[in-house]
Amino acid sequence: MPAAKRKAELSAARVVHETSHRLRLRLGKRVGGYAHLAAQVDALSGVKSARLNASCRSLVVRHDGQAATRAAILTTIREAPPDDAGADAAADSGADLGQVVLSVGVLLASFVLPPPIAALVTTANVAGVVVRGARALTDKGLSVEVLDAIAMMLPLLRREYRTANFTRVMLDLGSYMEASTVRRSDRLLRQLLRAEPEDVWIESAGGEVISVPYTQVTEGSRIVVGTGSQIPVDGVVGDGEAYVSQAAVTGESLPVPKERGDPVLSGSMVDSGRLVVVAERVGGATTTARISRYIQQALSNPTGIQGESRRLADKRVLITLLSGLGVFALTRDWRRLESVFLVDYTCAVKFGTPIAIKAAMFRAAKEGCLVKSGLSLETVAAVDTIVFDKTGTLTHNTLEVTDIHCLSDDIDEEQLLAMIASVAEHTSHPIASAVVSLASRRHLAHMSHEEVDFIVGHGVASTVDGHVIRLGSRHYLEEHEGVSFSEVEPLLVQLMAGGRSLLLVSVDGRPIGIVGFRDRVRGEALRVLRKLRTLGVTQMMMITGDHPDKAHQLGEMLGLDRVFADQKPEDKAAIIEALKAEGRTVAYVGDGVNDGPAMMAAHVGIAMPRAADIARATADIVLLEDRLEGLAMLRGLARDTMRLIRTNFRAAVIINSGILGGAALGWLSPAVTTTLHNGTTIGILLRALASAGPESKER
């Protein structure tokens, strides 16, 4: 076939039904990647959902009804590379619910149909599996798919139609469960990757503020962003002052003051104030878009180990086949050949392993961990290095007061704290919240004051009993208000070296106090890290966007092996890749948008329960309770599960080898062989199911 014609055929898509908000398309023939194609469509602005039936090459898209959205859908499908398969190829081949229902129907029909018709229906039912087995044999040699085909062909040739159809039901049901789980996880991720807003406010050349579609924003546009709004572009502040929370992008725990000339990143939130941002990078060039693109690329080009069950099962395929052929070559006894081929090492492993993993996932959920796949559980068992994000992971998203220093003899600690809290309670800044909380716990009386003046990005000021009190950063008090703290320079240096954030206080132009803060470390953090070491994790590390002094002080407190401070979002994934290149098996634990690439780069990503939506969707595992104990529980559970799988495998090999020997020697008839083999499988399945019992094993 000419290359041009083949490309046209692969890329073709035909609308078979359409309403104002819904499209049903029949996709062209593709080498693979139907699911990834659906992912691209689902990620388009204006698309509400994209549901794929790969076996029918059908894609149903619900959208907003706009002509531009419809055109974008069709363009995306027609321009997609025909061989864009990657990680989605497995999902493409998964059975859908219709196939499961059909297989069950054929099984039930085989109980009542006359033998000739039952033979015809069963042949049609198992034909697809036989064809897949033949293709697998051609593409990758002997594998479980080959034995799946043999497992259905043998009973079909022996006219045991119910057995053949039951085997098909089991295969389809397992395939459907796996494929549907992958689709749900990927669909959530793709929806969350739509980071671009639909409309933004821009300042026109005449000074008028108007709303325009995000797609019309260009470099140089002046974007107006108010309190509570997300900054949609990377750029520089052209006007205004504000506190900007960058926690979701850089991991910094405190809102950062921004004023004219300061750079800002897309995905940051304006905590208080108003900014006019001059756009420097828009659309796909922004920070959040780069993070999203990294995640999509990682999904399309997966790395890592294969599932435990398939590896173990594939290793035994050759044993069964060679044993059967050897027996037949020596005896010419079709009965012995049939008996040997009925000894399938893979059954107990193929069905027992997923049950053991699902049982472990069920137990993990009951104890506060959502594990999205068996591969994730397997990888957790092998992890030797855990890398933590700081804010929201090893620490809470709040601050605590650690130091209160009075710089004047005419004021004591409680008076200073009461004065600060009385003024600071009018702002939602984390530093203010920490002071107000401490004053409340000490039951300090409120001090009356005049109206509070908010100096956005710097601090606050008010008048108490006729005295002007100012709270804020050193830059604000010294550079803007002329209050010098040089006499206490050694104290300031000492506090900052200890990782403290500082609030400086002045009254009537003279310094009267310094309050130090630090991130509130999780009470269980040190205990959990020690427990993880006893469970075989050899390296504990932390990556943060915080200042090195603060980061290393926390690292020493928790006994971490390495600390990476002052890191940008894109640096995190590079650090993980470097650790992997050293031969480490790495888990990453985080909670921000900026943690998405690191989670995808790690062998397994773990998100905290209050994580950003994109981090929760990207992660392989999500902790459902806001405590780190789930990590130790999960590590112990994963190791126990992998140990159970391996002991089940050894038991299956030993017992089935005995059955195989008996069948080869002619001591066991096909009926006895089947009974013993299935009995072994049932025993292993029951043992796997028992691992989901309510009792909590001590780890």
**pLDDT score at 627:** 83
- DSSP strand E in 420-489: where? 453-455, 459-464, 467-472
Exposed, middle or buried, 381 (CB in 10 Å: 0-12/13-18/19+)? buried
Q: Which amino acid is at 535?
A: L
Name the pTM for this structure.
Answer: 0.55
The residue from 389, 519, 591, 620 that is catalytic is: 389
Joined together, the tokens standing for residue 102 give 């059909």
Joined together, the tokens standing for residue 645 give 């799988």
d(CA 104, CA 110): 10
**pLDDT score at 580:** 93
Partners of 51 in the β-ladder = 60
Q: Which CATH number fits domain 3-93: 3.40.50, 3.30.1490, 3.30.1360, 1.20.1440?
A: 3.30.1360
d(CA 654, CA 657): 5
3-class state of residue 414 by DSSP: helix
**pLDDT score at 86:** 36
**pLDDT score at 185:** 42
Q: Which CATH number fits domain 396-521: 3.40.1110.10, 2.60.40.150, 2.60.40.1730, 3.30.1340.10?
A: 3.40.1110.10
Number of H helices, E strands in the chain: 25, 24
Q: Quick one: fold of 199-296?
A: 2.70.150
Nearest of 494, 492, 499, 498 to residue 475 by alpha carbon: 492
C-alpha of 537 from chain center: 21
Does domain 369-394+524-624 match CATH 3.40.830.10? no
Q: Residue 321: phi, psi to the nearest 5?
A: -65, -45
Is 389 known to be catalytic? yes
**pLDDT score at 95:** 52
**pLDDT score at 583:** 92
**pLDDT score at 597:** 82
Run of H or E residues at 605: strand 604-607
Q: What is the mean pLDDT of the chain?
A: 77
Mean pLDDT in consecutive groups of 10 residues from the start of the chain, 699 residues? 42 79 80 61 75 75 86 78 41 59 87 90 88 81 71 76 74 59 46 58 84 83 87 89 73 74 83 89 68 50 43 63 74 66 61 69 75 81 93 80 88 90 82 86 86 78 88 87 89 83 90 87 90 94 84 88 84 91 93 78 85 67 82 92 82 78 74 64 67 48
**pLDDT score at 386:** 96
Q: Residue 67: phi, psi to the nearest 5?
A: -60, -35
Q: Where are the domains of the chain?
A: 3-93, 199-296, 307-368+634-696, 369-394+524-624, 396-521
Nearest of 552, 623, 619 to residue 587 by alpha carbon: 619
Partners of 454 in the β-ladder = 460
